[in-house]
Structure 1
């Protein structure tokens, strides 16, 4: 069984997720996608409180304009897409 890591993201555009408004510059944590089983991904708040599960499709949409990886510079992430 593969253990998926949890990555840190910075909110760059407001959105609502599971009755929680994610504001600009807020940090959230999302479990990495599982390409083999396509299982849902867990989302956690900045305080590492579990919020909800999301599908890979929702994750991809969030990464296209709502979130940036907190581990990478925004210019590097934009060039890779």
Structure 2
């Protein structure tokens, strides 16, 4: 069953947000999703070559997207 996930990619040195959005994922392989999002972010933000953190969490359709990752989010560094 498809699940809507939100993601937030931040610089790990400053915590500055770089990318925020939602995607619908079939299955629950959030690690693979994070790897893909981090790779895309590196291409889109090539001016910054430092480390990034991708936070991923289930996001209900009827709730607004928060500016920060909730404490329940999974975090992936890359």
Q: Which structure is richer in relative contact order (CA contacts within 8 A, separation 6 or more)? A: 2
TM-score (norm 1): 0.31
TM-score (norm 2): 0.32
